[in-house]
Amino acid sequence: YPRAMQVFRSFGAQLLSVPWDATGPRAEVFERLLERHTPKLFYCQPSAHNPTGLAVAPETARRLLDAAARHQVPIVEDGFDGSLFYGAAPTLPLKAVDRGGVVIYIGTFSKILFPGLRLGWLVGPPPILERLQAAKQLADLHTSALIQAAVHRFCERKLLDRHATRVATEYARRRALLLTALRRRMPSEVTWTEPQGGFSLLVTLPSGVDAGALLPQAIERGVAFAPGAPFFVDGGGQRTLRLSFSSVAANRIDEGIRRLAETIKAARGRLRGRERVERGAVPVV
């Protein structure tokens, strides 16, 4: 999540990344980093990783937690939009299986209610919460009591549960439409993640196609996306882009993907043309 990186960097942090595979952050890389460095904390989004939408498998979760407890490195679990899930059952947060007390869970109402709400919560060991409370008092005294009271009332009346169910149903429909459109429209060299939660997925473009360069061409065809590179800690991701399916009306998803696929095919075509020219220009000696 680019904003998190920005915050860590603004405090002078040196960021080390743990790449994801289908089951979550690669535990053996995490363990190696813990042995070689003494990181202050491990930040992750295990329930609905942004931008891939992937979730951490239970076995990987256990390994991450064990390693963190062994090295006494706190895990900051960004719950993000973990309340949106598309499997049979929601992925348990790491905090739910945290026996070592190493996880600080960050939750937010902004994703499930509406953006701009700016209300969240923390679950963590009391001594850490006390220090965070003191830091928050210095930063802004406290969060608006009006917002807190309004959301509290909303939850109390069970309106949040009803809303979450409705949202998850609608997003699941849009997610299915998006995956169908990708399968139907995209050239075979294009791949993507199948989101298990949240509201986005990550597309990987054919070799040689840069997502940043593709964006203005896509916009010309009336479709937009977020380049994936800012989501990568240490460079990379130039060939990736993030597609969000929460704010796009269901009936516009297929047409959007048609236009995006066209843009990609055109870029790939130009690329092959250039390759031919470059090959042709090699002097025969």
Instruction: Using CB under 8 A, list all residues that contact a second copy.
Output: 3, 6-7, 10, 114-119, 138-147, 150
What residue type is 136 in one-letter code? K
Return d(Cα 39, Cα 28) in angstroms, integer: 16
Q: At its nearest, how many Å lie between a second copy and the CB of residue 12? A: 12
Residue closer to a second copy, measured from CB, 146 or 282:
146
Q: Considering only CA atoms, which of 196, 245, 246, 199 is closest in space to residue 92?
A: 196
What residue type is 165 in one-letter code? T
Return d(Cα 263, Cα 258) in angstroms, integer: 9
Q: At its nearest, how many Å lie between a second copy and the CB of residue 141? A: 7
Q: At its nearest, how many Å lie between a second copy and the CB of residue 181? A: 31
Q: At its nearest, how many Å lie between a second copy and the CB of residue 115? A: 8
Cβ–Cβ contacts within 10 Å for residue 189, how many?
13
Quote the strand ranges of the chain, DSSP E.
20-21, 24-25, 42-44, 75-78, 103-108, 120-123, 191-192, 200-204, 226-227, 240-244
Return d(Cα 102, Cα 136) in angstroms, integer: 21
Residue closer to a second copy, measured from CB, 150 or 248:
150
Residue closer to a second copy, measured from CB, 8 or 62:
8
Return d(Cα 32, Cα 46) in angstroms, integer: 19
Residue closer to a second copy, measured from CB, 109 or 225:
109
Residue closer to a second copy, measured from CB, 159 or 219:
159
Q: Considering only CA atoms, which of 84, 52, 258, 46 is closest in space to residue 171?
A: 84
* Residue 34 CA to its chain's centroid (Å): 23
Residue closer to a second copy, measured from CB, 138 or 249:
138
Residue closer to a second copy, measured from CB, 57 or 117:
117
Q: At its nearest, how many Å lie between a second copy and the CB of residue 236? A: 24
Return d(Cα 48, Cα 64) in angstroms, integer: 16
Q: At its nearest, how many Å lie between a second copy and the CB of residue 201? A: 23
Q: At its nearest, how many Å lie between a second copy and the CB of residue 152? A: 13
For tokens 């059952």, the residue is 89
Return d(Cα 25, Cα 104) in angstroms, integer: 17
